[in-house]
Homo-oligomer: A and B are copies of this chain.
């Protein structure tokens, strides 16, 4: 992993160097600058448009210059994802354990929605920054508090994350012309009479993902509370 030390050249005490030989037309490359530029391309034009060559052009450097700050394209993409997650603040002081959990996943969701085209990167991240352990710790602590054993608490955590990321992955793909079952029914491509109950649902207005998310978290929390308390001294390991 090639990491530049260029950042350490920044003058101490925050004073700008006044008599440097010549004001650089293009500021020196940095891992941070490379990642930031990559995120801009990703946000604006999508993952397919993010090539090393295009990124280099935007930074007015040769493609190979990037490899001084990033060891491969894979490292670049992982760096973007890690950076986004590392900046999220998951903490919440609410005394209600349900609200603490809810706040975690809301924070994760909002961080992802700020960069929709990076969601897939976050989902496929390989080495996680330490901050991702915060929601895990908060959730397992809260569930332990209501009597869940460690294994069930962890399962509860995975249930919540996987739902959150799963919905994000779906939501972010928009605008669901051919993907959204409601849209598909409405467009008449599918035989409505074969699916009477969906037909009913299809009369609903625009789908509100935020409401669906809050509904989902609420239902999960209610289910976890019921199941974990019910089985407090008798963990549901062999359930099928």
A contact set with B: CB distance below 8 Å: 123-128, 130, 132-133, 136-137, 140-141, 144, 150-156, 158-159, 161-167, 169-170, 173, 178-179, 181-182, 184, 190-191, 194-198, 200-201, 203-204, 211-212, 214-216, 218-224, 226-227, 236-237, 239-240
Contacts of A218 in B (CB 8 A): 223, 227, 236, 239
Closest to A143 in B: B197
Contacts of A127 in B (CB 8 A): 178-179
A141 to chain B, nearest CB (A): 4
Contacts of A203 in B (CB 8 A): 150
A176 to chain B, nearest CB (A): 9
Q: Is the CB of B224 within 8 A of A184?
A: no
Q: Is the CB of B215 within 8 A of A240?
A: no
Q: Is the CB of B212 within 8 A of A219?
A: no
Give A207 to B214 CA distance when docked, in angstroms: 28
Q: Is the CB of B214 within 8 A of A224?
A: no
A183 to chain B, nearest CB (A): 11
Q: Is the CB of B211 within 8 A of A239?
A: yes
Partner of A223, one of B141, B144, B223, B237: B223
Contacts of A136 in B (CB 8 A): 181, 195, 198
Q: Is the CB of A167 within 8 A of B162?
A: yes
Give A212 to B125 CA distance when docked, in angstroms: 21
A185 to chain B, nearest CB (A): 8
Closest to A132 in B: B181
Contacts of A227 in B (CB 8 A): 218-219, 222
Closest to A124 in B: B173
Q: Is the CB of B236 within 8 A of A215?
A: yes
Q: Is the CB of B133 within 8 A of A181?
A: yes
Contacts of A212 in B (CB 8 A): 155, 158-159
A49 to chain B, nearest CB (A): 15
Closest to A142 in B: B197
Give A144 to B124 CA distance when docked, in angstroms: 36
Give A184 to B236 CA distance when docked, in angstroms: 26
Q: Is the CB of A178 within 8 A of B223?
A: no
Asked, given contacts A144-B200, A218-B236, whether A162 binds B154 with beta carbons under 8 Å apart, the answer is: no
